[in-house]
Structure 1
């Protein structure tokens, strides 16, 4: 059976692709929303969690957002060191505009994908 990171990977990949498509169309806010969706799905996997924060860092650099750039540098370190121990706030969207410790509700469509990815690992 695959790990959660592998099971959720295609869904995270799809959101990352959509994020960068939006950025190429100069739709930066829409692009970041896709990154947030990728974060919600990937945060239970250390690999996916760190990977999404690296993309958020790249978004911050590409949009010249000092706040996102600095915030993502901190969050990359946190994701790499806290996720293996399950120390992640469920549903948190990962942006520098929200506390990295605040749990948030998970949108229904993402909750379904997460549930199915977890079931695939049993």
Structure 2
């Protein structure tokens, strides 16, 4: 994995965990969406982003998010190397199959 991409992934997870510890789950979700986009092709890291989204959803008391993350964790482990919808943020409020626009910064990191 290229150095810049690895640093960006690590930063997203570190920031998300800090926000979760501070019980700022909405802010954590912003970092987790970034982590999700960057890790979609890496099963363990992809699943990790969904696990942390589940935790953030739990903190928010968001039943839809919690229930939506459960199948996504399993799907991340099983299908990340086969097919992913590029740019999808990973949240339960969007279809798990919907490609989404991606920022130029993230596109550059993923090339």
What TM-score comes out, normalization by structure 1 length? 0.80
Greater radius of gyration (CA): 1
Q: Deviations over 1:57-104 (max 9, x none)?
A: 12122222211111110101111111121x110000000010000001
| Stretches of structure 2 lacking an aligned partner (at least 5 in a row) | none
Greater relative contact order, per chain length (Cα 8 Å cut-off, separation 6+): 1
Contact residue 87 and residue 100 of structure 2 kept, 8 A: yes
CA 1:107/1:77 → structure 2, altered by over 3 Å: closer, same or farther? Answer: same
2:110 corresponds, among 107, 110, 114, to 114
What secondary structure sits across from 2:37 in the alignment? Answer: helix
Partner of 2:71: 74
* RMSD, matched Cα: 2.0
Cα separation, 2, equivalents of 1:7 and 1:49 = 17
Normalized against structure 2, the TM-score is what?
A: 0.87
Bigger shift: residues 56-65 or 95-104: 56-65
Matches within 5 A, 1:6-17: 8-17=5-14
The answer on whether the counterparts of 2:4 and 2:109 sit within 8 Å (CA) in structure 1 is no
2:93 alignment counterpart:
97
Is contact 1:19-1:31 (8 Å) kept?
A: yes
Aligned residues: 111
Give 2:24's match in structure 1, choosing from 8, 24, 27. Answer: 27
Q: Which runs of 5+ in 1 are unaligned?
A: 116-122
